Structure 1
Amino acid sequence: MSDSDSFIEEVTEEVRRDRLFLMFRRYGWIAIVLIVLIVGGAAWNEYRKAQERAASEALGDGIIAALAANEPADRAAALGEVTADTPGGAAVVNFLIAAAEVNADETAAAVARLNQVATDGDLPEIYRQIASFKALTLQADTMPAADLRVQFEALAQPGAPLRLLAEEQLALIDLSEADVEAAVTRLQAILDDAEATSDLQQRVSQLMVALGATPQVPSRIQG
């Protein structure tokens, strides 16, 4: 390599370094900001997880302490003092309060509380449907059968999470109206459903036998 070529290469390398230094001065702050954001984001994520974990533990401790009360009315009152930071946590507390209210013979208060959960649009559907289902079962002896039927039919729509339990309640309504044939047909349909749990299958079969019908057990269950 000639001296001129060597000189040109050195100058070119120096120019490259100067350009790189200039670019770093102009845009290096972006890399620094990105690093700060990444590190800060990771730290915030860990902090948020720790806060959520602490809140969940506090909620659990509060519930356990409240449930230690001997009398249902005292449990309901103690649970009412428990604070939940999320809609789901609040729904769980309300379910427990409603159960305590039922045990304290305050069914009307429990129904009102459950209906409040059932109409809370911030909650996932499963919470709202459980609340609605429980509220209806608590009113099985007081609400007109026609009204019960309409509301349980709404819970028994295809794809609904509690549809088979709602169908079971509809069969009981059939029986309350002395329509044994309709009840048996509905119970057999539950038994045929692939999503029926073993406990539900057992209840349905026992009820059918009590009604003088013979449950047709699907081969998938027999096997």
Structure 2
Amino acid sequence: MALRPQSPKSDSDKKAERDAAQQDVFMREVDDALRQDQMMGMFRRYGVPVLGLAAAVLLGLGGYLWWQNSQTQAAEERGEKLVMALDHLEAGNLATADKQLAPIAEDGAGASATSAKLARAGIALQQNRREEAIRLYAEVADDSDAPQPFRDLATIREIAAGFDKMKPQEVVDRLKPLAVPGNPWFGPAGELVGIAYLKLGKEDLAGPLFAKIARDEDSPDSLRARTRQMAGLLGVDAIDDPEEVAGDATEAAEPAQQ
């Protein structure tokens, strides 16, 4: 079947096609321009705040890293100064050690400051400045940011230094949580609680407590020997190993013979 020949386009048809093509190109250009205007408008509206926020985040991160680095350097410097001060303390240079420890303790930040306060309190006791020592120990004991072992030690030292002026029941109330087997401070805390019990007339509580300390292998031998004797005086048997007790008696007698 033969195809019918197409009739040639008229000039008006050709002009209509050109106009349509031009209109299509024009609409695309308008559409592209509109998109660009929208993008520019969005940038003007949101771009500056977003860039500002990004800059603030970067500045904040940079500031935090700088602060963290400064804190690390400061802690290292405090640690070095603390070691130097403790060297003087070990050598018996109490005045020099106390002078070097003072600014570290007054800084009030971290374990270095806590250690410095404890050391200064010990120096004050050695120099018969008991009230100052008690004050420094109390500051550490009440410091919620200090490591708990340091706070417990400071509590025991504070009470030991001020024991004679304290009410026995106050000693019991403050140290009883530490005076339990298994606690690292059971020995020294328990001894003070036991003595407080004696002052309260509670020998029935003091004797068994002394016996427990005497049997506690984690407590110092000298403390175990003392509490064993106290338990015996109160009629409580704290002797598990007679040979061990004989050894303690021999060691105690040797210095007296020299």
The answer to whether the superposition gives a TM-score over 0.5 is yes
TM-score using structure 1 length:
0.66
Per the normalisation by structure 2, the TM-score is: 0.59
Matched, 1:86 2:108: yes
Structure with bigger gyration radius: 2
Q: 1:112 to 1:208 in 2, by over 3 A?
A: closer
Are the aligned partners of 2:106 and 2:113 in contact in 1 as well (CA < 8 Å)? yes
| Residue 206 (structure 1) shift | 7.1
Matched, 1:74 2:96: yes
Distance 2:30 2:217 in 1: 84
**Please, which of 41, 51, 56 is the counterpart of residue 22 of structure 1?**
41
- Aligned 8 A contact 1:129 1:162 in 2: no
The CA deviation string for residues 134-188 of structure 1, in whole angstroms up to 9 with x for no partner, is 2101233x335xx143144134459xx9995645531342256664431245568
Q: Which moved more, 1:123-132 or 1:10-19?
A: 123-132
Q: Distance in 2 between matches of 1:55 and 1:112?
A: 27
Q: CA deviation at 1:98?
A: 0.8
Partners of 1:162 and 1:111 lie apart in 2 by 22
Q: Secondary structure at the match of 1:139?
A: helix
Question: Would you say the 8 A contact 1:130–1:162 is kept in 2?
Answer: no
- In structure 2, stretches of 5+ residues that fail to align are 1-19, 232-236, 241-258
SS in 2 for 1:199: coil
How do 1:34-183 and structure 2 match up within 5 A? 34-69=53-88, 70-82=92-104, 84-88=106-110, 89-118=112-141, 123-124=145-146, 126=148, 130-140=153-163, 142-143=164-165, 147-156=167-176, 166-167=189-190, 169-175=192-198, 179-183=202-206
Sequence identity (%): 19
Residue 221 of structure 1 is matched in structure 2 by none
Cα shift readout 1:39-77 (whole Å, capped 9, x = no counterpart): 111111111111111211221122222223233343223
Of the structure 1 ranges 31-40 and 163-172, higher mean CA displacement relative to structure 2 is found in 163-172
The 8 Å contact of residues 59 and 83 in structure 1, kept in 2 or not, is answered as no
Cα gap change, 1:117 to 1:208, in 2 (>3 Å): closer
How many Å separate the matches in 2 of 1:15 and 1:187?
A: 92
* Cα RMSD, aligned residues only: 4.1
In the superposition, relative to structure 1, how do residues 180 and 17 fare at CA in structure 2: closer, same or farther (>3 Å)? Answer: same
Deviations, residues 66-124 of structure 1 (Å, cap 9, x unaligned): 2232333432233225465334444332111111222334334312332344456x755
**Aligned equivalents of 1:204, 1:9: Cα separation in 2:** 96
| Cα deviation 1:180-206 (Å, max 9, x = unaligned) | 43124556899xxxxxx9725999987
Q: How many residues align?
A: 203
Tell me, which stretches of 5 or more residues in structure 1 are unaligned?
A: 191-196, 216-223
- 8 Å CA contact 2:194, 2:210 repeated in 1: yes
CA contact (8 A) 1:156 1:163 kept: no
More contact order relative to length (CA 8 Å, sep ≥ 6): 1
